[in-house]
């Protein structure tokens, strides 16, 4: 369970974001919707331990993660959090297996890799270089890499942002399936995907932010 309590983030450029108190239950999937600049990525990043909030707390299984050392936060992220990035963050010149195998350097057991590749339908791409995969296949590799450590928490920041709707929908269905029993928080702009999640959280209602006046961006 993740509890957001009195959370606020102020950036040096004077952007300030205040988050409404929220609880993410273990075993449930959440879709985060909200205008650009609302603080969706900032929230996921703070749950992952970087950056630290300016005010308030993030409790994970009742432990205040904002009160522990950066080293402990980093360890927690490596062991317990699977983070899926919009732009995959895979190494193009390496194969699928090597992109996942690299996690062994962090002490992560990757013995579940083959099963995950199978479930995600990309077994035959195990020894293919990332540069030879389609966008949907790359996203599945990114999901496999995030999930292989059997994380308790899965954070996905626009995991289908680079995919067309039909492929994105399939990837979301697979992501929800492989995340069963865990806490899944996925940011997506597409409310057609909301039916696949247990709950939809509108970040426009969850945050208030004072934007950097120089940036000219609209507030939430």
Q: How far apart are CB 40 and ligand ATP at their closest, in Å? A: 3
In the bound state with Mg ion, the residue whose beta carbon lies nearer, of 62 and 218, is 218
Interacting residues with ligand ATP (CB under 6 A): 11, 13, 15, 17, 34, 36-42, 211, 217
Q: Which two tokens mark 148?
A: 């292989």
Return the one option of Mg ion, ligand ATP, none that residue 52 interacts with (CB less than 5 to 8 A, by type). none
In the bound state with Mg ion, the residue whose beta carbon lies nearer, of 39 and 82, is 39
Return the one option of Mg ion, ligand ATP, none that residue 38 interacts with (CB less than 5 to 8 A, by type). ligand ATP
Q: Which stretch binds Mg ion (CB under 5 A): 7-15, 34-42, 178-186, 198-206?
A: 34-42
Is residue 22 a contact residue for Mg ion (CB under 5 A)? no
In the bound state with Mg ion, the residue whose beta carbon lies nearer, of 40 and 145, is 40
Q: Which stretch binds Mg ion (CB under 5 A): 36-44, 139-147, 173-181, 199-207?
A: 36-44
In the bound state with Mg ion, the residue whose beta carbon lies nearer, of 144 and 187, is 187
Minimal CA–CA distance to 144: which of 156, 162, 134?
156
- Cβ-in-10-Å burial (0-12, 13-18, 19+) of 36 comes to exposed
In the bound state with Mg ion, the residue whose beta carbon lies nearer, of 155 and 178, is 155
Return the one option of Mg ion, ligand ATP, none that residue 49 interacts with (CB less than 5 to 8 A, by type). none
Q: Which of residues 39-98 bind Mg ion (CB under 5 A)?
A: 40-41
DSSP the chain: -EEEEEEEEE-TTS-EEEE--EEE-TT-EEEEE--TTSSHHHHHHHHTTSSPPSEEEEEETTEEGGGS-HHHHHHHHHHHEEEE-TT----TTSBHHHHHHGGGGGT---TTHHHHHHHTT-GGGTTSBGGGS-HHHHHHHHHHHHHTT--SEEEEESTTTTS-HHHHHHHHHHHHHHTTTSEEEEE-S-GGGGGGSSEEEEHHHHEEEE--TTTT----
Q: How far apart are CB 174 and Mg ion at their closest, in Å? A: 22
State the number of binding residues for Mg ion (CB under 5 A).
2
Q: Which residues pair with 58 in a beta bridge?
A: 4
In the bound state with ligand ATP, the residue whose beta carbon lies nearer, of 8 and 101, is 8
Match 């997506």 to its residue by tokens: 188
Q: How far apart are CB 155 and ligand ATP at their closest, in Å? A: 12
Binding site for Mg ion (CB under 5 A): 40-41
């Amino acid at each position: 369970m993740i509890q957001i309590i009195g959370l606020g983030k102020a950036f040096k450029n004077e952007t300030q974001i205040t988050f409404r108190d929220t609880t993410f239950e273990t075993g449930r999937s959440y879709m985060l919707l909200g205008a650009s600049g609302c603080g969706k990525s900032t929230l996921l990043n703070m749950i992952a331990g970087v950056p630290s909030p300016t005010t308030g707390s993030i409790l994970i299984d009742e432990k205040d993660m904002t009160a522990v050392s950066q080293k402990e936060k980093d360890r927690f992220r490596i062991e317990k959090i699977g983070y899926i990035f919009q732009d995959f963050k895979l190494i193009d010149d390496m194969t699928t297996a090597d992109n996942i195998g690299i996690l062994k350097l962090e002490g992560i057991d990757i013995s579940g890799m083959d099963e995950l590749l199978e479930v995600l339908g990309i077994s035959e791409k195990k020894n293919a270089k990332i540069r030879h995969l389609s966008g949907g296949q790359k996203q599945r590799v990114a999901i496999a890499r995030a999930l292989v450590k059997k994380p308790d928490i899965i954070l996905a920041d626009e995991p289908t942002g680079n995919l067309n709707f039909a492929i994105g929908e399939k990837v979301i269905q697979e992501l929800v399936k492989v995340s069963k029993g865990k806490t899944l928080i996925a940011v997506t702009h597409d409310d057609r995907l909301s039916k696949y999640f247990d709950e939809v959280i509108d970040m426009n209602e969850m945050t208030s932010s004072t934007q950097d006046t120089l940036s000219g961006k609209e507030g939430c």
